Amino acid sequence: MGWKILHTLEDLCKDWDGSEIADEAETRVTVRCATIREAIDKIEGLDADLDSAIEVAWKRGATDWVRMNYPKHYERFTTGE
């Protein structure tokens, strides 16, 4: 059996022949742990970058934008928690 390398998380939703798997379907995937750790690191890095960008926007006066789009951040910034 030929193993296909997982390049994106979207690949988890594709069958061996590249066709889309239905949302209701269950599938079993073999993935290297290093690939999972890389994905986790990437997501955590992007999350930290987003937090920083939201804080910069807040400090530059985009308070309404933060309030509408990131209410948890807004609450944290306004309560100091």
Indicate whether 1 belongs to any domain.
no
Indicate whether 40 belongs to any domain.
yes
Indicate whether 36 belongs to any domain.
yes
Indicate whether 38 belongs to any domain.
yes
Report whether 4 contacts 33 (CB < 8 A): no
Domain count, the chain: 1
Indicate whether 2 belongs to any domain.
no
What are 26's two structure tokens? 């269950």
Indicate whether 37 belongs to any domain.
yes
Range of the domain at 14: 9-79
Indicate whether 4 belongs to any domain.
no
Average pLDDT estimate for 7-20: 74
Indicate whether 52 belongs to any domain.
yes
Cα 61 to the center of its chain, rounded Å: 26
Query: Tens digit of pLDDT for each residue in 32-58?
Result: 788 888 888 898 999 999 999 999 999
